[in-house]
Amino acid sequence: MSFKLFIASTFGLIKSTAKLEAAHEALLADYQMFCEFEKSPELNEYNELDMLLKSATFHQRKKEIQHQVFKGSKEEAQFAEFKKLGRNSRLQKFYSTLESDDLKRFEKISSSEELAKYKKLKEIVHSASFDSQKKKDEKSDEYAKNAEYHKLKASDNIKFYEHFAKSPEYKNYQLIKDSIERKRYEELKKITDSEEFKARVSYLEDKHKWEKTEEYAKEVRFAELKKSPQLVNYLKYHNSNAFDFFKKWDLVFEDRFKSAKLDPQLWLPQSHWGSQSLGRNFSQLGDLHAYTEGRNVSVEYNTLKIEVRKEKTQGMQWQIPFGFVENEFDYSSGIVSTAGSEWWKHGILEAKVKYAPTANLVDAIYLLGEETSPQVNLVEMGVKNRVGILTKSAEGIHAECESISGLKAGEFYIFRLEWNSHSLTWKVNGKEIFTVSNNVPAFKMHLNIASIVVAEPVGEMPHRFEVDWVRFYQHKPKA
């Protein structure tokens, strides 16, 4: 048993597969949303609004608008001055006189021929050259003028005219008519009666004037954007390194086995050498099974299943010195590979696998190149439960491996292989358990998933090797 796995299992340091998957899927969904939103016009709009709303100009503008009130304003001063002048008694008397019938009558008389004639006769009668003795002679011109003068003087119009001209009302009228007070009052009246002034006062008295501005509309839009799930997600990760993995690695291969059958574009139900040499599968000497051409491979409930059955099966077997010989086997099994589609050099291989080892069987996910050695096992279960690399030589097979026997049977685990030019590192549910630096493959390899029968199985049959998903990442190309 791996000491690391023993310690991790004992102290609960191996994370839950379900939680790891959920965290990965959630982070991936957030990353995809982040990338989509990063190119969106909404983000450009948000950044522009953010810059605007943080600017000193915007804050000053908002402050000015919110502090613009009627009290203390120029408009309040003008209105107060207008009201004060409106209470001035002399101005009040002036406008009372201005609108009176007496003034209208007075002005009408002032422009009449009757008044002009009266004033002319008055001037003559009261002149020094007027002969007062002759005014008693009824036949004299002086008498006639004097008589007409007194007749006019006694008329209602002239009597009214002379009385009104001497009245306090008219004197006040004359005093105020061209006064500064009247000019200012009428100037203010014109101002305060204007629609512009009324609109300005209404604006100043409006407690919600800021909310009616274009700037406020931009504030509202900014707040709306900040509440959007896409922006919340973007701001959450904007200055974070949470997406470093997705930014660094490209997912170049993935199968979640969502279809009803194996995808022929991705998988070949044969080994690379069987496909190349015979166009069909074959078994190695010592194997108790024959590989069928996909009959033992199925996709059920979004899981790849390779089934080992106890049944008589015809198949080809490699036997030295005869080569390929047809033989009858007691067991049938299956193999799938990416030999016809995907080969990789360096990257990260991951698979979610049900850990269900059965004695005398070998369930394995492994990488192979053009040759059968080295074989890099992502996971091997059954006869031996381990991860590592197997290398063939004249002396036999050299295994540089680490046991995984500390895992719980019947549980799914995420096995991970990190492959670079210097090392191979294995992890189980994120926990590093093994690293090798020798014989690291420097060539392209393809993926294989297979079940092998090496002795009479112990346990119920058929046996199923289950894989929930598999994927391969490679470094993103440098920009």
Q: Are residues 189 and 261 in the same domain?
A: no
Is residue 244 a part of any domain in this protein? no
Q: Are residues 421 and 280 in the same domain?
A: yes
Structural domain of 271? 251-475
Q: Are residues 281 and 195 in the same domain?
A: no
- The pLDDT assigned to 394 comes to 83
- For the record, the structure tokens of 351 come out as 């698979």
- The pLDDT assigned to 6 comes to 59
- Closest by CA to 376, choosing from 298, 280, 448, is 448
Q: Are residues 198 and 293 in the same domain?
A: no
Number of domains in the chain: 2
Q: Are residues 274 and 346 in the same domain?
A: yes
Is residue 403 a part of any domain in this protein? yes
Q: Are residues 277 and 360 in the same domain?
A: yes
Is residue 267 a part of any domain in this protein? yes
Q: Are residues 113 and 176 in the same domain?
A: yes
Is residue 233 a part of any domain in this protein? no
- Closest by CA to 356, choosing from 255, 219, 234, 462, is 462
Distance CA 289, CA 283 (A): 7
Is residue 393 a part of any domain in this protein? yes
Query: HEC states along the chain?
Result: CCHHHHHHHHCCCCCCHHHHHHHHHHHHHHHHHHHHHHCCHHHHHHHHHHHHHHCHHHHHHHHHHHCCCCCCCHHHHHHHHHHHHHCCHHHHHHHHHHCCHHHHHHHHHHCCHHHHHHHHHHHHHCCCCCCCCHHHCCCCHHHHHHHHHHHHHCCHHHHHHHHHHCCHHHHHHHHHHCCHHHHHHHHHHHHHHCHHHHHHHHHHHCCCCHHHCHHHHHHHHHHHHHHCHHHHHHHHHCCCCCCHHHHHEEEEEEECCCCCCCCCCCCECCCHHHHHHCCCCEECCCCCEEECCCCCEEEECCEEEEEEEEEEEEEEEEECCCEEEEEEEEEEECEEECCCCCCECCEEEEEEEEECCCCCEEEEEEEECCCCCCEEEEEEEECCCEEEEEEEECCEEEEEEEECCCCCCCEEEEEEEEECCCCEEEEECCEEEEEECCCCCCCCEEEEEEEEECCCCCCCCCEEEEEEEEEEEEECCCC
Is residue 57 a part of any domain in this protein? no
Q: Are residues 345 and 445 in the same domain?
A: yes
- The pLDDT assigned to 8 comes to 60
Side chain identity, residue 152: L
Q: Are residues 261 and 173 in the same domain?
A: no
Which class for 240: exposed (0-12), middle (13-18), buried (19 or more C-beta within 10 A)? exposed
Q: Are residues 145 and 286 in the same domain?
A: no
CATH number reported for the structural domain that contains residue 280 in this entry: 2.60.120.200
List per-residue pLDDT tens for the chain, 479 residues long: 455 665 565 556 688 999 999 999 999 999 999 999 999 999 999 999 999 999 999 999 999 999 999 999 999 999 999 999 999 999 999 999 999 999 999 999 999 999 999 999 888 888 888 777 777 777 888 888 888 889 999 999 999 999 999 999 999 999 999 999 999 999 999 999 999 999 999 999 999 999 999 999 999 999 999 999 999 999 999 999 999 999 999 999 999 999 989 999 999 999 999 999 899 999 988 899 999 999 999 999 999 999 999 999 999 998 877 888 999 999 999 999 999 999 999 999 999 999 999 999 999 999 999 998 999 999 999 999 999 999 998 888 999 999 998 899 999 999 999 999 999 999 999 999 999 998 899 999 999 999 999 999 887 899 999 999 999 999 998 86
Q: Are residues 399 and 313 in the same domain?
A: yes
Is residue 306 a part of any domain in this protein? yes
Is residue 289 a part of any domain in this protein? yes
Q: Are residues 267 and 193 in the same domain?
A: no
